[in-house]
Structure 1
Amino acid sequence: MIEYENIERIFRKYMDDDYFSGCVCYISVNGKKAYHKAFGLSNQVEGTQCNLDTVFDLASVTKIVTSTVILKMISENALSLTTKLEKCLPQSVQNSVLAPITIKQLLTHSSGLKAWHSFYAYTKGDSLFAILNSIDLTHKEGRKVVYSDLNFILLGEVIKYYYQSSLQHVIQNQLVESLDLETLTYNPHSKSNIAATEFGNRIEQKMCSDRNFHFTNWRNQNVPILGEVNDGNTYYFFGGESGHAGLFSNVKDLVSIGELYLKGGIYGEQKVISNALIKESLKKQVDNRGLGWETSDVYPEGVGHTGFTGTALWIEPERNVAVGLLTNRLHVDQPKNINPFRKELFEEIFKNIS
């Protein structure tokens, strides 16, 4: 039995300390709703309350959706984990760094690619691969795993090339319709019932300044970003659709993605991803990385993924639990690291289902 009072005490404590202004949480146990509640404000400026269906910018939790499409492609023999980029993305053939990278290396962040690059700081009209061919792509760290947006930007390009379609159309056709999702989308048509994020791209503006990237077309810092993706590369360069960021969703749809993994890749009577591949995706492949998923001390057990805007998806296969946690942690005066909140909340949930 989940102790709702303790969970809500944790939410209130961190909201009072200005870690976020609003949040929505959904807990699924054995495929059934065990908890679903909203707290606080989705938009401080307009005084809008969060509700059970409030849609959030998923930020890097988009990577789990991208991984899911890639695993579906592998299940359908369109790819394998050992497929090299030169075989599935023709634009990479001439690049000696990119060509030999495998799908598995991209999914596990073990490709050797640098963590981040400001693609929007280039002349408008420069293509992604023109930029990639002009820069040093490798990271300098000695570790095997370096978490990198570039890995999932490239996986997004693999998906677009294979389907010869936009990411929005692929997500709609391959996941939204297959899993009966209601809100998962890039570039939401309506801004109503969407949680606000940062006041302009203040954090990325500093990242660019620190790295000597020159860009001037920033969004207004006096108003919150609303209904547009927060991530700079996705917004300014990719038109709102990328493999590493850009998806919006309510918490129930997000949990449905997690439940697909708990159900062995099956939705209803339909096999979406092979069971063997689902099991493989949840195992540690390199360091703390599964295929898209990660393990960390934020999660008591199981695997998950977090997003820069304050989002998280956590699944625990042994207990058949999926938890979606959506907050607007950037929609405060001074954004903070909310991992202490995530960790405390997930531990409380875990304690109640153990």
Structure 2
Amino acid sequence: MFNNIDSIFKKYMSEDFFTGGVCSISVNGKNVFHRAYGVSNINDKNPCEQETVFDLASLTKLVTSTIILKMNNENVLSLSSRLEDCLPQTKRNKLLAPITIKQLLTHSSGLKAWHSFYSHIPGDTVFNILNHIEITHNKGNEVVYSDLNFILLGEVIKHRYHDSLQGVVQKQLVEPLGLKTLTYNPSDQENIAATEFGNRIEKKMCRERNFYFTNWRDEEVPMIGEVNDGNAYYFFGGESGHAGIFSNVKDIVALGELYVKGGVHNGKELISKELIEESLTVQVGKRGLGWEVSDIYPEGFGHTGFTGTALWVEPKRKLTVGLLTNRLNVAAPKNVNPFRKEVFNDILKDI
């Protein structure tokens, strides 16, 4: 089974889509495929290993949404809770106050796609900045994928638990699921895949939007163990609801398995089956609760990360797939969606 995955990896690595990666496939909670390819760092040629840790980028959003679902399950909040009820700082903002948790999870809040928080005056708070950001599209019935939605969900989590995101993730997910590597700001810098050579892509985005920022990281060396995302790194100190989580493929697959198993881990219900099913049901556009439907995934739901990561679940087949690459650790980063789609379709043929 899965004999074509090796050749698919080799083909895309030969065309400089990425220099290394890992693929792990789980069926009904049992690992049936786990291989590493290429190198984790184009500079020192360290081999990519099965346990190599990656900057998950926007797969962090699935960590955040899972914690939000747990909070819902424990009646800490509901999907219909409004921001003004969850974050006192939003009560005076007529645009932010009525936004619901569900609208944030489904990217239907009306908030714009991206904003460089780090280009503002040092010390300015996320809420001061958001006071100057307008709703840009129809709230509730139009989807615009936006980091701002999950930045706000991260703030909700911190406020409700009176703890850092790392503290909450550790207590609510890492410990219950027995995860070994999933963390913000990894202290162990060994065996971490490299990402971009400085924030070249975000620098261009800022220039195009007339955002001013000068304290960019060195473009001569790749980032290793530092979150690639600019807002997460420069503004939030590595911990945000939209980006910042690092993990090996085994741990992120374990998160996906929680959904495939209906919210149960080792016989204990962490999230109700009904809420899990709702999260894996299209709510608006092509969005579930944190999850996405797209042609990248032949069936089921998934999510991707800017650094070259992806997680795919197909509950009917009890299938979970983690696909992590270092697509930014090349001279000229490319869109790896064709690679993801090819791997996922090949896997489905063998299940």
TM-score in terms of structure 2 length: 0.99
- SS state of the match for residue 349, structure 1? helix
Checking the alignment, whether the CA contact within 8 Å between 1:14 and 1:341 is kept in structure 2 is yes
1:236 aligns with 2:223: no
Find 2:136's aligned residue among 135, 139, 147.
139
CA RMSD in angstroms, aligned pairs only: 1.0
Find 1:325's aligned residue among 323, 326, 335.
323
Pairwise CA distance, 1:304: 0.2
Pairwise CA distance, 1:141: 7.5
What amino acid does structure 1 have at the position aligned with 2:66?
A: T
Name the residue aligned to 1:44: 42
What amino acid does structure 2 have at the position aligned with 1:64?
A: L
What amino acid does structure 2 have at the position aligned with 1:241?
A: E
Name the residue aligned to 2:278: 280
What amino acid does structure 1 have at the position aligned with 2:307?
A: T
Find 1:80's aligned residue among 75, 78, 81.
78
Q: Quick one: distance in 1 between partners of 2:237 and 2:105?
A: 23
Equivalent residue pairs, number: 350
- SS state of the match for residue 178, structure 1? helix
Pairwise CA distance, 1:269: 2.2
Name structure 2 gaps, 5 residues minimum: none
- Percent of residue pairs bearing the same amino acid type: 66
Q: Quick one: distance in 1 between partners of 2:138 and 2:15?
A: 35
What amino acid does structure 2 have at the position aligned with 1:54?
A: T
Checking the alignment, whether the CA contact within 8 Å between 1:196 and 1:225 is kept in structure 2 is yes
Checking the alignment, whether the CA contact within 8 Å between 1:109 and 1:145 is kept in structure 2 is yes
After superposition, the C-alpha distances for 1:159-185 in whole angstroms (9 at most, x for unaligned) are 000000000000000000000000000
Name the residue aligned to 2:110: 112
After superposition, the C-alpha distances for 1:128-160 in whole angstroms (9 at most, x for unaligned) are 111111x23322579700000000000000000
Name the residue aligned to 1:308: 306
TM-score in terms of structure 1 length: 0.98
1:32 aligns with 2:37: no
What amino acid does structure 2 have at the position aligned with 1:348?
A: D
Name structure 1 gaps, 5 residues minimum: none
Name the residue aligned to 2:253: 255
Alignment of 1:1-354 (within 5 A): 2-4=1-3, 6-133=4-131, 135-140=132-137, 144-353=142-351
What amino acid does structure 1 have at the position aligned with 2:61?
A: K
- SS state of the match for residue 177, structure 1? helix
- SS state of the match for residue 222, structure 2? coil
Q: Quick one: distance in 1 between partners of 2:2 and 2:260?
A: 23
Checking the alignment, whether the CA contact within 8 Å between 2:111 and 2:137 is kept in structure 1 is no
Structure 1 outlier segments of 4+, above 3 Å: 140-143
After superposition, the C-alpha distances for 1:237-286 in whole angstroms (9 at most, x for unaligned) are 00000000000000000000000001110111221101100000000000
Checking the alignment, whether the CA contact within 8 Å between 1:115 and 1:139 is kept in structure 2 is no
